[in-house]
Structure 1
């Protein structure tokens, strides 16, 4: 296959925002109703850290500070590679937006129960030492 005929990948970012009490920021997506950490597609003119700050703010109104890369996740069905960052809240109050019908602070256990496995893994990986972790998934389950 010629190089220009190969499918392209999209790059997205996820912010695993953790408060001092260990609770994790989660949104209920407006488009599919799933609970996930906030994030979205990285724009061409921004760094991954700038992108995660922008996406979390757009979806929740919360200003955050990325601390470290915690994982790289490939959705093999859609060709999306996501960079996940452990983040801390800096200012603002998290609330709903056009992209998030609900915003809640969840315990790690609640996040694991509410989120699809592929999204819950981003939270679990961000809370673990080691990493960054590299995983593949089909949009819901890890492969």
Structure 2
């Protein structure tokens, strides 16, 4: 799961991952005993130093090659200061255009879906590199 943290000015928070150098939304894997919302808050804080409020689910994304399903939640920042972690070599607030320029396709669309003001979450599938569909639910 991941947090698409959106500021009032419409910029969205992204990290450059330490392990592979790609720009992605902050996120990770749930711990056994935590709720989904608690996991989103924990992962965003661990990777960026920001505390967030989880607003809503914006997308469900299945990687058909690996059999992994990712959930993305729109969040807004509450407190803290951006900082690096063992998992991130950069933390930045990106415009929608910068999201498209810096992120690979399978991560950029997750962030762009979170910026849309749709009531229903997007449901999409990909092969790890490219989207196999372009339709959003709703």
Shared fold by TM > 0.5? yes
> Which residue does 1:62 correspond to in 2?
50
| Distance apart, 1:46 and its partner CA | 1.1
Cα deviation for residue 135 of structure 1 reads 0.6
Q: How many residue pairs were aligned?
A: 131
Q: Distance in 2 between matches of 1:112 and 1:119?
A: 9
Q: CA deviation at 1:20?
A: 0.6
Question: Which aligned pairs between 1:32-111 and structure 2 lie closer than 5 A?
Answer: 32-111=20-99
Larger Rg: 1
Measured against aligned partners, the alpha-carbon deviations of 1:52-103 in whole angstroms (never above 9, x if no partner) come to 0000011111100110000001111222111100000000011111000110
Q: CA deviation at 1:129?
A: 2.6
Structure 1 residues 31-58: Cα deviation after superposition (integer angstroms, max 9, x where no partner): 1100011000112211111110000011
2:133 equivalent to 1:136 = no
* More displaced stretch, 122-131 vs 47-56: 122-131
Q: Is this contact kept in 2: 1:48–1:83, CA < 8 A? A: no
Q: TM-score, normalised by structure 1?
A: 0.88
* TM-score of the superposed pair, with normalisation by structure 2: 0.91
Please identify runs of 4+ aligned residues in structure 1 that moved more than 4 A: none
